[in-house]
Amino acid sequence: MKIDLPRYEKIWITFGIGTLAAFLIIIGVMAFTMDLHPPGDNRTIIPEAISITPPFDKPGLYPSGSRNYKAAIVAKTFTFLPTEMRIPAGSTVHFEVTSPDVVHGLMIPGTNVNMLVVPGRITQFTYTFKHKGNYYLICNEYCGSGHQLMASRLIVE
């Protein structure tokens, strides 16, 4: 069966099919030979059970190795828990953050730490604090009338 299409129509159809084939080949090569995949380690938590679910039942900073720490942070109603943490300079902190109420953000100015905190999800990020100083954890996602008060502090000594 022969379809009678104008010349430019055939060129555009061929270009579209070629582009789609190139896209699928690139995705296939990345997925199967380079082992690159979209993030699939989404961890969830029941928002109503955060206060009784470890580690968020006791928010805080816990050592997990030499100069490695795990920060379990709860973002809720215009506050971060814990409100203050201390680590030595050069330490790596693995943040795990969740929220029982609404969507919040967690940003540390001067670093690339910037997380979206969604109720029911555990957001993770790892960062090494090389320099001493006071680092403020602020909410960068409008969460209500007291949003501007939502902050915590990380002191690197």
Where is average pLDDT lowest: 28-37, 94-103, 147-156?
A: 28-37
Q: What is the pLDDT of residues 9-68, one digit of tens each?
A: 999 999 999 999 999 999 999 888 887 776 666 789 999 999 999 999 999 999 999 999
Instruction: Please give the Cα distance from 66 to 143 (Å, whole number).
Output: 36
DSSP string of 83-140, one letter each residue = SEEEE-TTEEEEEEEE-SSS-EEEE-TTSS-EEEE-TTEEEEEEEEE-S-EEEEEE--
Task: Write down the mean pLDDT value for the chain.
Answer: 92
The model carries a pTM of 0.74
